Amino acid sequence: MDKDTAYKKILSLRKLLEEHNHKYYVLAQPVISDYDFDVLMNELIALENANPEYFDPYSPSQRVGGAVTKEFKTIRHKFAMLSLGNTYSTEELAAFDQRTRKVLENQFSYVCELKFDGVAISITYVNGKLDKAVTRGDGVFGDDVTTNIKTIRSIPLNLKGNDFPDEMEIRGEIIMPRKSFEKLNHLKLIENEAPFANPRNAAAGSLKLQNSKLVAQRKLDCFFYYLLCPSLPYNNHYDNLRKAKDWGFKVSDFMVKCESLNDVIDYINYWNTERYNLDFDIDGIVIKVNDFKQQELLGFTAKSPRWAISYKFKAERVSTKLLSIDYQVGRTGAITPVANLEAVQLSGSVVKRASLHNADIIENLDLRDGDYVFVEKGGEIIPKIISVDIEKRNGTETKVFFIKHCPECGTKLVKTEGEVQFYCPNEFHCPPQIKGKIEHFISRKAMDITGLGEGKTELLYNKKLISNIADLYDLGYHDLYGLENEISDKDNGKIRIIKFHEKTVKNILEGIENSKKTSFERVLYALGIRYVGETVAKKLAFHFENIENLMQASFEELIAVEEIGEKIAQSILSFFSDTYNVDIINKLKAKGVKFQLDKSEATDSSKVLNGLSFIVSGIFSIERDDLKTLIEKNGGKNVSSISSKTDYLITGDNPGASKVLKAQNLNVKIISEDDFYKLLNNL
């Protein structure tokens, strides 16, 4: 076969296979047998192998996998993947409906969708081709799993038609159908491996496999439920998703429009029982306001949209025996009791442990050794004890009393007035607290020291190579190379081997060195001062500019900073009054860790916007997040929605029309990006 004929045949086979693939995996309407499909696929693969110059990463042949991903790159989401607010009763749903109606004066409709129990994914398409697939992660950063996503046959590599946007983002849920899950666990049992707890965990684990060929064998599926693009064809959610089906996306046929709360409740009641007849898991229903302009009017909270809510089906509850209670010590010294239970099947997984949270919970439950307890999953994720199965008591049970001394170091526990938690005050010599502080220090949102996760810090501590966060900067190649240890997982009984190979050591030492460039606000967060989270650390850093100013600040100076209350101020004073903490900071400074703002940051920062609140809308000459940072650095506050208390709406190109209208109605000042810079210079 000559080259020209081969190329035409390859193109013909690709088009034919894409069509069959769509009919089988998206429409569930196959027109040829699996055998005939495989014959066509093998013919295509043979032709592509014989003519490598015609390779196309978007060919149907690439779905079989084979590429190996050694490391999943972390990527920042262009638009944060927010979580939905949850509700568990029709009363809470009615309250959501009332809040919505209070804001929206005109008639509106809801869209109801199944809440798939899987792994959220965000996929970008450029010129109709799959460009990038990123996991939800923490909502801001996720992992690039593009290679693995391409093996999922219900996800189009090339869009159908020609009327799709040049660039668009679509979000969906990667799921493992029950048949695939059962087959996978059967194979694991045959190979003497621990089975997956549920399809959700199996899907999550499959997405992070390094060999895409193995991912292809897992038979994952995907439903899409949200489009993001400045130029969508319709001004509402429902019609855009219907259009997405025309482009080749798998959108649930069970999505419906509802004109009233009663319609929504009828939909929920139907699926509360009918969900067991599906071939995949769902854990609730998602309710969204359909119209985009009405969505804009409703706006967002810091964590979730006000125009959508998730109704979670009532959690399954089972009775099982309490075997014992462990007491865990966190990095702040907080003591958390954890119940060890007789293994029981609950919502698709085996439960052996459940948190009891604190002493008050144990007391309120009137918990006794030998009790049978009712367990359910909070949000069908985290097991928790709801109550005692009183009918199973036989009189031999003995009352459970909360411990008085730290289970790790023996120090007498303390409890601050007004708090429910008991604490171990021995924070500098209690092993779990020390290890917890180190793990917090190296975490991604703090110093982001890559390579030191997965039990490695615990190994270094146990080997007496580190005893505090400053010791990390004294580690050398010969301290690390060749170390290894076994780490066991209490929940599933698995044992992992931690080994420090040459590349591992190199990555750790590079991560430690690079952490010296970490910005002051993140270093401040990394110190682990109680109650000082990311936002508070940023406020303190930009207000005081360096660690010396912060350490010398009085109580009055601290509470004068926005969002710093008495409890936080007292915690900061207590932290810096301890010579041990001061000594650690001095050691870190000596190693080159940054404890002051960069000159550019310090120069740019001011208090000229103190007391002013801003909302930004549109496209600007700089990234929107950079503009928000500029507001915060100069004392201003970013808000998520417009109210009469908002001082300024900063508009760029293509601002939200509803935001502008609302600002006008509330007499909020509307300014351009240039006006904002003038505001900075003139105030």
Instruction: Tell whether 397 and 546 lie within a shared domain.
Output: no
Distance CA 341, CA 86 (A): 28
89 domain-assigned: no
Of 115, 250, 384, 659, which one is the catalytic site residue? 115
The structure tokens listed for 136 are 């939800």
Query: What local confidence, expressed as pLDDT, does residue 379 receive?
Result: 46
Residue 532 forms part of a structural domain: yes
Domain co-membership, 393 together with 490: no
Same domain flag for 194 and 337: no
Q: What are the mean pLDDT values of the chain's consecutive 10-residue runs (683 residues total)?
A: 85 87 73 78 84 81 64 82 85 93 90 94 94 87 90 92 92 93 81 74 87 88 92 93 95 94 95 88 93 91 85 85 94 92 81 89 93 77 84 92 96 88 93 93 89 80 93 93 69 64 90 93 94 87 92 93 87 95 96 85 69 86 78 83 89 76 85 85 64
Residues 137 and 234 reside in one and the same domain: yes
Q: Is 135 contained in some domain? A: yes
The CATH number linked to 123 is: 3.30.470.30
| pLDDT score recorded for residue 49 | 82
Identify the CATH number of the domain in which residue 356 sits. Answer: 2.40.50.140
Distance from chain centroid for Cα 159:
28
Query: Helical H runs in 591-672?
Result: 599-604, 624-633, 657-665
- Shared-domain flag, residues 510 and 560: no
Residues 6+ apart with CB under 8 A from 202: 176, 181, 184, 185, 196, 218
Residues 509 and 531 reside in one and the same domain: no
- What is d(CA 508, CA 473) in angstroms, rounded to the nearest whole number? 11
Distance CA 175, CA 152 (A): 10
Looking at the structure, do residues 132 and 250 belong to the same domain, yes or no?
yes
Token pair 């809040």: residue = 99
- With b for 16 or more beta-carbon neighbours within 10 A and e for fewer, the 438-475 pattern comes to bbbbbeeebbebbbbeebbbbbbbeeebbebbbbbbeb
Where do the DSSP E strands lie in 454-524?
A: 484-488, 495-499
Count of the separate structural domains present in the chain: 6
200 and 249 share one domain? yes
Q: How far apart (Å, rounded) are the C-alpha atoms in residues 152 and 174?
A: 9
Q: Looking at the domain assignment, is residue 245 inside a domain? A: yes
**The CATH number of the domain where 34 resides is what?**
1.10.287.610
Look at residue 509 and tell me if it is in a domain. Answer: yes
Establish if 577 belongs to a structural domain.
yes
Residues 182 and 221 in one domain: yes
CATH number at residue 533: 1.10.150.20
The answer to whether 411 and 325 have CB atoms below 8 angstroms apart is: no
Find all residues with CB under 8 Å of 184, minimum gap 6, and list them.
176, 196, 202, 218
pLDDT of 380 reads 47
CATH of the domain at 646: 3.40.50.10190
Element containing residue 470 per DSSP (H, E): none
| The pLDDT value given to residue 337 | 94
Same domain membership, residue 241 and residue 115: yes
Cα distance from N-terminal residue to C-terminal residue, the chain: 76
Q: How many CB atoms lie within 10 A of CB 204?
A: 16
Domain boundary at 603, 636, 668, which?
603
* Residue where one domain finishes, among candidates 583, 603, 623: 603
537 and 643 together in one domain: no
Catalytic status, residue 115:
yes
Give the range of the structural domain holding residue 621, as residue numbers without chain letter.
606-682
Euclidean distance between CA atoms 473 and 467, whole angstroms: 12
Q: Of 517, 540, 565, at which residue does a domain stop?
A: 517
Would you say residue 265 lies in a domain?
Answer: no
Q: Is 612 among the domain residues?
A: yes
DSSP class of residue 275?
G
Residues 327 and 254 both lie in one domain = no
